[in-house]
């Protein structure tokens, strides 16, 4: 599938990376020649140097044959304009990054329909959404919802003194009964799809499939903090902070925002009357303590500097703040932050590239394969795919335990009408079901791909 | 340096070589020649060694940088030449290994300079292999490997850049592998069309194949003592036209395929190339008119020689050694200019000559008005300073290598000035025949082993455009620091 990316900045290259890995034909456009050379050295793609809204450049990039056109250059206006031109020139689907809050209000729908942009993405808003999900269930490191929030995949980092340390999955199931499924485990840098004999260890990152209510029950049994974070301190007054604070305030949380720049503070205070806005340098520990860091339920570091976010988050963890989240933009730093003991990080770039590659996958599916939706899990090392079961599927009515599944794949959930089944060996797949399949280290295109 | 990746790629290349050797083996079987066993032995050995190397050096680290790209390219060509020479040596058709090496490198680099005195005495399979090396070397061995081997590397653009001639190497489509495939498909189709045209002119299948390989790779190994001279005017015209076509940037053929005719007509390199060929042909036709029987013959001879020399093919239909000085001077200049970038031709390349000329103009303007800001435009785009620097550096290196090789030859050989000068320029520019004692009717047989090796090296330098070999031979590439 031919995909054109305009803008090879931080987000652009992350998107290129994931799309190239998916095997797409990628053409990148950027007006900086050095950037273009560098990108063409690293990735197996074609590069065009020039303005992404110039029709000549677009035709050189082969826009008329492009299935998807993604504009993620620095300026919203350029992105919208290039999407508009690309669409006129024959690109099938267009995606624009539109991050300016003014365009993201009620005018967004109008802009989208007038410029025939298929999808608008706003990294800050998506990031805020993810942060909000985490704060909703602070015991988890990450929550992914499936099938219109009917059930969730919860990523949980096990502490060394966790009750699950040393337990095999069979033992865990006996001890803590309920409708849930341990579906993926990340240990060091490897991701496993575990079977019943798999023994959990402290330090593992565990992915659990369950409905929202069952997940709450399990968390209670495990004794993991489970009440929602009532009071949240947000460091940095970025756009993400603004969107997050808005969501939190709407949900009735107490929000305190610490920002250095006075003018920005006033803007935020003006836009969000419910929030407490503090003007000061968040890197000063004294200030954080004075603002009640140690009494707050959660601390979110959202400054523009990754290093500052990581260091201040470490300090916050040392003050026993129950939930500390830091934003880390540079992907290289993510694993380092994890090694330093920060269990919960978000990276806007990863979020965006997941969204785009999911979109690309869905587009490809409309042209052949059967995947309904796709989620990247465990930092992109595993995938969850939702399939609709066709009536010609060969294994209809056969109990799961009699199916010979490929290694590192798992049927993690079956949705039958309104009923949600967390499957065990005796369950069967019926025509018309929707099935969520987990796979690590392989790309599935059809439900029958999981059978050996 | 990612040694494992370098050596495993070398291994893959040896396997590819053994696959290529299947063709001369088929020829040997068809003509029931004893040379068969020589080819079978070499193909078998290279398959085993290559296979073992790929297995032994298997690595998950697929990352290569420009350095590895240069090293893989240079080493591949060295190994390929060394192994490709073995069949000639084993079958005893070229008794000296150094001579066999010269012949093979001359083949792969599409030079067409020969040390074989009695071409007609060679076996068909050896003649076939000799010409087939032209075809393989013309588009590039690594490009071939890239087209057929899955998942070579995400960064195989470095290999492409190191092997493809010209100052700027771009891709046709996003994936390097697909680009390599498209290039080879265009190449194969054009070669096939030429074979059909030659067959239509009454040439035998074997001769058509061999001559088409020589034309496509812009190589120039003939299988007759008088090269193409003995064939009918029709065949001479067909070969003239195809030599000209194979000297054009292959990207333009792709643009024609995807129906972007406008961009083709806008290509300044193409127009420049056409203009050079047309003026040179006209000038030489006028110059040799008196020596020929009528205008038709003069035009045919001039057009053939001009196409042959500018594309650095090296087929001849007449002994241009006997031509007037002006015609010889024009041919000498054409030798250095060479064909278009991204074609199978050698020499400096038309685009590089254009860029060098424009850069010169820029510098002179700059001297005139030191504060003025000048840019160089080529094919409608501004040429970056780094590309300009690369071109001028290349030109300096090119001259330096030329001078060193020329001095070396003059020091150890008894030939006259013209012969030595032409030997170096004919080999270095991958042309083949020169003037004087290395002219169209004679060959390189008279040179000593040392000079033969030096000229062999010159051909490789010319084909790979100097940088890969120089970089690979410099020790700092291989040290850990």
DSSP string, A3-37: EEEE--SHHHHHHHHHHHHTT-EEEEEES-HHHHH
The shortest C-alpha distance from B381 to chain A (Å) reads: 10
Instruction: Evaluate whether residue A358 is within a structural domain.
Output: no
pLDDT tens figures, A94-138: 999 998 888 887 888 888 888 889 888 888 888 898 888 888 777
Nearest CA in chain B to A20: B154
How confident is residue B272, by pLDDT bands cut at 50, 70 and 90? very high
Strands A180-187 and A371-377: unpaired
Instruction: Evaluate whether residue A362 is within a structural domain.
Output: no
ipTM, 2 dp: 0.81
Angle CA A337–A343–A346, to nearest 5: 70
Same domain flag for A86 and A177: no
Same domain flag for A445 and A382: yes
* Residue with the larger pLDDT of the pair A111 and B149: A111
Nearest CA in chain A to B384: A33
**Chain B residues near residue A41 by CB distance under 8 angstroms:** 65-66, 155, 157-158
The residue among A268, A257, A240, A208 whose CA lies nearest residue A132 is: A240
Q: What is the distance between the alpha carbons of residues B288 and B298, in angstroms, rounded to a whole number?
A: 6
Question: Contact A209/A413 with Cβ under 8 angstroms?
Answer: yes
Alpha carbon A88 to chain centroid distance? 31
CB burial of residue B398 (10 Å; 0-12, 13-18, 19+): buried
Q: Please provide the distance, in angstroms rounded to a whole number, between the alpha carbons at the two ends of chain B.
A: 10
Q: Do A20 and B154 touch (CB under 8 A)?
A: yes
Angle CA A235–A236–A242, to nearest 5: 105
pLDDT tens figures, B125-143: 999 999 999 999 998 888 8
Stated as kind and residue range, the H or E segment containing A438 is: strand A434-440
Angle CA A271–A275–A278, to nearest 5: 100
Provide the chain A residues 35-74 that lie in CB contact (below 8 A) with chain B: 40-46
Give the CATH number, domain containing residue A58. Answer: 3.40.50.720
From the candidates A23, A36, A43, A46, which should be mutated to test the interface with B, based on the most B CB atoms within 10 A?
A46
Same domain flag for A93 and A146: no
Q: What is the distance between the alpha carbons of residues B105 and B457, in angstroms, rounded to a whole number?
A: 8
Q: What is the distance between the alpha carbons of residues A213 and A420, in angstroms, rounded to a whole number?
A: 12
Least confident window among A431-435, B110-114, B184-188: A431-435
Mean pLDDT of A370-384: 74
Q: Which of B155, B173, B384 sits opposite A25 (nearest CB)?
A: B173
Instruction: Evaluate whether residue A353 is within a structural domain.
Output: no
Rg over alpha carbons for chain B, rounded to the nearest Å, is 22
Domain end point (choices A222, A240, A259)? A222
Same domain flag for A7 and A114: yes
B155 reaches A (C-beta below 8 A): yes
The size of chain B, in residues, is 481
A71 pLDDT more than 90: yes
Stated as kind and residue range, the H or E segment containing A325 is: strand A323-327
Instruction: Evaluate whether residue A297 is within a structural domain.
Output: yes
Q: What is the distance between the alpha carbons of residues A183 and A405, in angstroms, rounded to a whole number?
A: 14
A254 reaches B (C-beta below 8 A): no
Provide the pLDDT for residue A232: 92
Q: Which domain holds residue A313?
A: 231-346
Q: CB neighbours of B279 closer than 8 A, spacing ≥ 6?
A: none
Distances (CA, A) of B43 to B22, B25, B31, B49, B87: 8, 9, 19, 10, 9
pLDDT tens figures, B321-369: 889 999 999 999 999 999 999 898 888 999 999 999 999 999 999 999 9
> Crossing angle of helices A123-136/A239-250, nearest 10°?
40
The shortest C-alpha distance from A85 to chain B (Å) reads: 20
B154 reaches A (C-beta below 8 A): yes
Least confident window among A53-62, A273-282, B163-172, B411-420: B163-172
Instruction: Evaluate whether residue A61 is within a structural domain.
Output: yes
**Chain B residues near residue A33 by CB distance under 8 angstroms:** 384
Same domain flag for A7 and A113: yes
Other CB atoms within 10 A of residue B196 CB: 13
The residue among A373, A302, A296 whose CA lies nearest residue A127 is: A302
A69 is written with which tokens?
Answer: 């056109």
Q: CB neighbours of A227 closer than 8 A, spacing ≥ 6?
A: A138
Residue with tokens 């001039």: B302
Domain end point (choices A222, A255, A270)? A222
Same domain flag for A117 and A83: yes
Mean pLDDT of B451-480: 89
The residue among B38, B43, B37, B36 whose CA lies nearest residue B21 is: B43
Facing residues of A121 across strands?
A97
A303 pLDDT more than 70: yes
Name the H helices within B57-118. 66-84, 86-90, 97-108
- Residue A244: helix, strand or coil by DSSP? helix
**Chain A residues near residue B177 by CB distance under 8 angstroms:** 44
Q: Do A44 and B155 touch (CB under 8 A)?
A: yes
How confident is residue B116, by pLDDT bands cut at 50, 70 and 90? confident
Same domain flag for A296 and A333: yes
The residue among A5, A440, A13, A413 whose CA lies nearest residue A214 is: A413
Q: Which of A20, A41, A46 sits opposite B171 (nearest CB)?
A: A46
Strands A371-377 and A409-416: unpaired
Instruction: Evaluate whether residue A291 is within a structural domain.
Output: yes
Same domain flag for A136 and A114: no
pLDDT tens figures, B239-262: 999 999 999 999 999 999 988 888
Instruction: Evaluate whether residue A94 is within a structural domain.
Output: yes
Q: Do B157 and A40 touch (CB under 8 A)?
A: yes
DSSP string, B290-346: GGSSSHHHHHHHHHHHHHHHHTT----SS-GGGS-HHHHHHHHHHHHH-S-TTSS--
Q: CB neighbours of A450 closer than 8 A, spacing ≥ 6?
A: A405, A406, A409, A411, A437, A439, A444
A403 pLDDT more than 70: yes
Q: What is the distance between the alpha carbons of residues B351 and B346, in angstroms, rounded to a whole number?
A: 12
B184 is written with which tokens?
Answer: 């080879």
Mean pLDDT of A250-262: 91
A404 is written with which tokens?
Answer: 């010979």
pLDDT tens figures, B12-35: 999 999 999 999 999 999 999 888
B206 pLDDT more than 80: yes
The residue among B442, B434, B138 whose CA lies nearest residue B305 is: B434
Nearest CA in chain A to B177: A44
pLDDT tens figures, B51-99: 999 999 888 887 888 888 899 999 999 999 999 999 999 998 889 999 9
**Chain B residues near residue A46 by CB distance under 8 angstroms:** 170-174
How confident is residue B275, by pLDDT bands cut at 50, 70 and 90? very high
Same domain flag for A90 and A32: yes
B189 is written with which tokens?
Answer: 């189709």
Domain end point (choices A62, A92, A121)? A121
Nearest CA in chain B to A49: B381
The residue among A386, A360, A300, A320 whose CA lies nearest residue A128 is: A300
Same domain flag for A21 and A102: yes
The shortest C-alpha distance from B373 to chain A (Å) reads: 19
Nearest CA in chain B to A47: B174
Nearest CA in chain A to B179: A46
Provide the chain A residues 2-41 that lie in CB contact (below 8 A) with chain B: 2, 20, 25-27, 33, 40-41
Q: How many domains does chain A have?
A: 4
From the candidates B65, B173, B174, which should be mutated to test the interface with A, based on the most A CB atoms within 10 A?
B174
Same domain flag for A149 and A99: no
A212 pLDDT more than 80: no
Distances (CA, A) of A436 to A145, A152, A382, A433: 12, 11, 13, 10
Give the CATH number, domain containing residue A438. Answer: 3.30.70.1450
Facing residues of A94 across strands?
A69
Q: CB neighbours of B96 closer than 8 A, spacing ≥ 6?
A: B89, B449
pLDDT tens figures, A149-208: 667 788 887 877 777 888 888 888 888 887 888 888 888 778 888 887 888 887 788 888
Same domain flag for A142 and A79: no
Provide the pLDDT for residue A450: 79
Q: Which of A33, A42, A44 sits opposite B175 (nearest CB)?
A: A44
Instruction: Evaluate whether residue A319 is within a structural domain.
Output: yes
């Amino acid at each position: 599938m031919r995909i054109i990316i305009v803008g090879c900045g931080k987000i652009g290259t992350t998107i290129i990376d994931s799309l190239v890995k998916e095997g797409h034909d990628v053409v990148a456009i950027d007006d900086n020649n050095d950037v273009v050379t560098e990108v063409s050295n690293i990735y197996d793609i074609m590069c065009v140097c020039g303005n992404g809204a110039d029709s000549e450049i677009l035709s050189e990039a082969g826009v008329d044959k492009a299935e998807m056109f993604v504009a993620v250059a620095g300026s919203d206006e350029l992105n919208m304009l290039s999407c508009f031109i690309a669409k006129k020139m024959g690109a099938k689907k267009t995606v624009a990054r539109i991050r300016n809050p003014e365009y993201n209000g009620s005018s967004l729908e109008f802009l989208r329909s007038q410029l025939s942009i298929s999808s608008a993405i706003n990294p800050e808003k998506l990031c805020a959404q993810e942060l909000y999900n985490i704060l909703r269930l602070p015991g988890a490191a990450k929550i992914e919802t499936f099938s219109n929030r009917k059930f969730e995949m919860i990523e949980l980092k096990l502490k060394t003194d966790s009750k699950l340390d040393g337990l095999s999955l069979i033992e865990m199931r006996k001890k803590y009964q309920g409708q849930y499924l341990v579906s993926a485990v990340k240990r060091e840098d490897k991701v496993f799809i575990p079977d019943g004999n798999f023994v959990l260890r402290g330090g593992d990152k565990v992915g659990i499939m369950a409905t929202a209510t069952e997940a709450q029950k399990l968390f209670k049994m495990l004794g993991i903090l489970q009440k929602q974070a009532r009071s949240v301190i947000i460091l940095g007054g970025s756009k993400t902070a603004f969107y997050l604070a808005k969501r939190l305030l709407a949900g009735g949380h107490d929000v305190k925002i610490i920002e250095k720049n006075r003018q920005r503070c006033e803007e935020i205070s003006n836009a969000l009357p419910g929030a407490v806005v503090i003007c000061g340098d968040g890197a000063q520990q004294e200030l954080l303590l004075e603002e009640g860091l140690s009494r707050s339920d959660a601390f979110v570091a959202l400054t523009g500097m990754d290093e500052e976010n990581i260091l201040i988050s470490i300090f916050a963890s040392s003050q026993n703040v129950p939930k500390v989240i830091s934003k880390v933009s540079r992907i290289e730093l993510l694993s380092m932050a994890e090694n330093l003991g920060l269990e919960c990080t978000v990276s806007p770039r990863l979020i965006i590239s997941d969204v785009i590659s999911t979109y690309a996958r869905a587009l490809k599916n409309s042209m052949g394969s059967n995947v309904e939706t796709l989620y990247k899990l465990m930092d992109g090392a595993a995938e969850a795919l939702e399939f609709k079961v066709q009536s010609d599927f060969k294994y209809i009515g056969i109990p799961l335990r009699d199916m010979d599944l490929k290694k590192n794949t798992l049927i993690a959930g079956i949705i039958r009408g309104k009923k949600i089944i967390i499957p065990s060996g005796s369950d069967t797949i019926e025509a018309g079901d929707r099935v969520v399949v987990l796979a690590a280290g392989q790309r599935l295109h059809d439900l029958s791909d999981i059978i050996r | 340096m990612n040694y494992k990746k370098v050596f495993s790629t070398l291994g893959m290349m040896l396997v590819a070589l053994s696959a290529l050797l299947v063709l001369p083996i088929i020829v040997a079987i068809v003509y029931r020649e004893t040379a068969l066993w020589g080819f079978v032995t070499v193909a078998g050995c290279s398959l085993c060694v290559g296979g073992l190397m790929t297995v032994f050096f298997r690595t998950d680290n697929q990352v290569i940088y420009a350095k590895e790209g240069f090293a893989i390219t240079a080493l591949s060509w060295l190994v390929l030449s060394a192994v490709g020479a073995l069949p000639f040596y084993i079958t005893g058709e070229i008794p000296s290994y150094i001579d066999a090496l010269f012949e093979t490198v001359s083949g792969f680099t599409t030079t067409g300079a020969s040390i074989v005195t009695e071409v007609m005495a060679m076996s068909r399979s050896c003649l076939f292999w000799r010409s087939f090396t032209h075809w393989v070397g013309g588009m590039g061995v690594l490009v071939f490997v890239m087209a057929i081997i899955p998942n070579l590397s995400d960064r195989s653009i470095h290999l492409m850049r190191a092997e493809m001639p010209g100052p700027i190497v771009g891709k046709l489509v996003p994936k390097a592998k697909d680009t390599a495939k498209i290039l080879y498909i265009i190449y194969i189709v054009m070669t096939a069309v030429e074979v059909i045209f030659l067959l239509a002119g009454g040439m035998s299948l074997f001769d058509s194949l061999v001559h088409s390989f020589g034309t496509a790779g812009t190589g120039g190994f003939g299988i007759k003592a008088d090269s193409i001279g003995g064939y009918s005017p029709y065949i001479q015209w067909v070969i003239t036209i195809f030599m000209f076509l194979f000297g054009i940037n292959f990207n333009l053929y792709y643009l024609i395929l995807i129906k972007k005719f406008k961009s083709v007509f806008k290509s300044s390199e193409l127009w420049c190339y056409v203009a050079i060929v047309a003026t040179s042909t006209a000038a030489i036709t006028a110059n040799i008119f008196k020596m020929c029987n009528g205008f038709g013959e003069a035009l045919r001879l001039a057009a053939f020689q001009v196409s042959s020399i500018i594309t650095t093919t090296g087929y001849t239909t007449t002994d241009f050694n006997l031509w007037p000085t002006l015609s010889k001077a024009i041919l000498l200049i054409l030798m250095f200019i060479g064909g278009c970038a991204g074609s199978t031709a050698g020499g400096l390349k038309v685009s590089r000559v254009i860029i060098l000329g424009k850069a010169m103009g820029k510098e002179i303007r700059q001297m005139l008005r030191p504060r003025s800001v000048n840019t160089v435009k080529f094919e409608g785009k501004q040429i970056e300073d780094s590309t300009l620097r690369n071109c001028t550096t290349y030109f300096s290196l090119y001259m330096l290598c030329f001078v060193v090789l020329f001095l070396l030859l003059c020091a150890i050989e008894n030939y006259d000035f013209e012969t030595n000068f032409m030997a170096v320029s004919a080999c270095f520019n991958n042309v083949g025949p020169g003037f004087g004692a290395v002219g169209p009717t004679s060959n390189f047989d008279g040179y000593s082993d040392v000079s033969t090796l030096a000229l062999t090296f010159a051909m490789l330098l010319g084909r790979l455009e100097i940088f890969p070999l120089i970089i690979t031979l410099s020790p700092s590439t291989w040290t850990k620091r």
